[in-house]
């Protein structure tokens, strides 16, 4: 079977024109590819505060309706802190095929283009096309824990193993049938667009836990498609996957990490193709003006900004920040073809840097000199001599001199 797998659409009124163009591209691709199943792996909306009559809500409903004219659509809830239960409005979407929105973990049997459960089995037996396990972002409310935040995360991590194993046992009742697991959350080893490994930032599970849901099936891997457009700076490679699986294959379709990657897998590129979306790039430039030697050109030079959104981050001394020509920089970048320009200035107090020099000074003389530099004062040589004597004279000798009134 063929699966269209996307995630992290983050539909919102801001950027809605670009989002609508990308959604139209995905629909056109689906019409060409003719998948048997379409998966949205969480964070379809950018905010839980979505108004039914908003352009974003209408675009999302229209998008899901048109996808459902092509194939059954499975949707899971994403990050509770921002998407909340907003995707539940997609139950109002209508198409030729069914739409399933999962707000709690569940397992379904895809048969004749319909989502069914064991309860639908009336004694005639199933002839499933695939097993579909839908697991939204785990929450403490679902697992009914009353522990604190850290302990709660640990409890959920442990409870997820049982959850995956339970779904694996259920799926094992249908050997030789492809199994698709859909999950929104952090996976051990996943890398952010910045290149850093996502560790300790939220509830996290491992690919070994995911494998428990597949039993003895052929595990193709855990696939992150990235977002469909750059929600934040540095997000590149935006797009979605087309997976082709069959027989005893088991695949995990993930959402949450805005970076294309495959984890715990021996994925075959011919069976899992990443389709880039025609999104506009967001590029980021950083420059530290504190490091520029006096007299050197401080002009802004950038390449490759044409057709991109630009964020330019400058670091400078607090007392020199007013000298930065933000309007001039923005004009220059726009003339180079930037779609938008976001200039951010980090102001560093000189005193804060010099205070570190005071702390780092190894001798009393050094600390006094560094402190005087902060205040712009000169130090009396006699004070420095006294500092040397105090630091280099044994304590017993200092006490004796004090008793004799010599210091």
The three-state (H, E, C) secondary structure of 165-231, written as one string: HHHHHHHCCCCCCCEEEEEECEECCCECCCCCECCCCCCEECHHHHHHCCCCCEEEEEEECCCCCCC
Nearest to 138 by CA among 184, 199, 86: 184
pLDDT at 146: 42
pLDDT at 5: 97
Res 214 pLDDT > 50: yes
End-to-end CA distance of the chain: 91
pLDDT at 248: 87
Q: In the predicted model, what is the mean pLDDT of residues 257-275? A: 80
Residue 101 Cα distances to 44, 89, 91, 378, angstroms: 11, 9, 7, 72
What is the gyration radius of the CA atoms in the chain, in angstroms? 30
pLDDT at 182: 95
Residues of the chain with CATH 3.60.21.10: 2-279
pLDDT at 240: 95
76: left (phi over 0), alpha (psi -120 to 50) or beta: beta
- Give me the residues paired with residue 184 across strands: 255
* Token pair 């670009």 in the structure block, residue: 18
- Residue 289 burial (CB < 10 Å; 0-12/13-18/19+)? middle
Q: What percent of the chain has pLDDT over 70?
A: 81
pLDDT at 138: 76
- Residue 151 burial (CB < 10 Å; 0-12/13-18/19+)? exposed
| Most confident of the ranges 12-26, 140-154, 198-212, 265-279 | 12-26
CA distance 133 to 176: 16
Q: In the predicted model, what is the mean pLDDT of residues 15-24? A: 91
Domain topology for 2-279: Purple Acid Phosphatase; chain A, domain 2 (3.60.21)
251 falls in which pLDDT band (50, 70, 90)? very high
Res 192 pLDDT > 60: yes
315 falls in which pLDDT band (50, 70, 90)? confident
The pTM score is: 0.71
Phi, psi angle pair for 241, to nearest 5° = -105, 150
Mean pLDDT of the chain: 81
Q: Dump pLDDT digits (tens) for 353-405.
A: 555 555 566 677 777 777 777 666 777 877 877 877 777 777 777 777 777 77
Q: In the predicted model, what is the mean pLDDT of residues 214-241? A: 85
Q: How far is CA 209 from the centre of its chain?
A: 21
pLDDT at 264: 81
Enter the tokens of residue 284. 């980021």
What's the DSSP call for residue 339?
Answer: S
Please, what is the angle between helix 16-33 and helix 55-68, to 10°? Answer: 0
Nearest to 141 by CA among 129, 130, 155, 128: 155
CA distance 242 to 236: 18
pLDDT at 354: 56
Helix, strand, coil share (%) of the chain residues, nearest 5: 35, 25, 40
CA distance 157 to 155: 5
CA distance 301 to 318: 22
9 falls in which pLDDT band (50, 70, 90)? very high
């Amino acid at each position: 079977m063929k699966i269209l797998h996307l995630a992290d659409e983050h539909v919102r009124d801001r950027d809605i024109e670009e989002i609508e163009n990308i959604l139209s591209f995905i629909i056109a691709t689906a019409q060409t590819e003719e998948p048997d199943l379409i998966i949205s792996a969480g964070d379809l909306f950018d905010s839980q505060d979505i108004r039914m009559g908003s352009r974003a809500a209408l675009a999302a409903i229209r998008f899901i309706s048109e996808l459902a004219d092509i194939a059954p659509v499975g949707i899971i809830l994403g990050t509770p802190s921002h998407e909340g239960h907003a995707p539940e409005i997609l139950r109002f979407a209508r198409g030729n095929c069914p739409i399933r929105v999962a707000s709690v973990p569940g397992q379904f049997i895809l048969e004749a283009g319909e989502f069914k459960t064991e309860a639908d089995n009336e004694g005639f037996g199933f002839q499933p096309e695939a097993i579909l396990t839908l697991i939204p972002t785990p929450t403490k409310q679902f697992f009914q824990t009353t522990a604190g935040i850290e302990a709660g995360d640990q409890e959920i991590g442990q409870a997820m193993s049982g959850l995956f194993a339970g779904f694996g046992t259920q799926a094992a009742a249908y050997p030789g049938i492809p199994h698709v697991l859909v999950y929104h959350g952090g996976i051990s080893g996943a890398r952010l667009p910045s290149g850093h490994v996502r560790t300790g930032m939220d509830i996290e599970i491992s690919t070994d836990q995911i494998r428990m849901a597949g039993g003895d099936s052929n595990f193709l891997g855990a696939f992150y498609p990235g977002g469909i457009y750059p929600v934040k700076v540095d997000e590149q490679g935006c797009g979605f996957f087309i997976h082709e699986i069959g027989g005893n294959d088991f695949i995990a379709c993930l959402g949450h990490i805005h970076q294309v990657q495959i984890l715990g897998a021996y994925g075959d590129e011919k069976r899992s193709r990443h389709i880039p979306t025609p999104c506009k790039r967001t590029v980021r430039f950083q420059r530290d003006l504190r490091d520029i030697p006096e007299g050197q050109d401080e002009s802004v030079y950038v390449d490759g900004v044409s057709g991109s959104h630009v964020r330019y981050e400058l670091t400078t001394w607090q007392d020199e920040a007013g000298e930065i020509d933000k309007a001039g920089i923005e004009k220059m970048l726009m003339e180079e073809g930037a779609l938008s320009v976001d200039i951010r200035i980090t102001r560093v107090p000189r005193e804060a840097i010099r205070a570190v020099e005071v702390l780092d000074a190894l001798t009393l003389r050094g600390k006094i000199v560094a402190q005087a530099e902060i205040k712009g004062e000169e130090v009396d040589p006699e004070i420095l001599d006294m500092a040397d004597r105090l630091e280099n004279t044994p304590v017993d000798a200092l006490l004796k001199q004090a008793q004799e009134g010599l210091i």
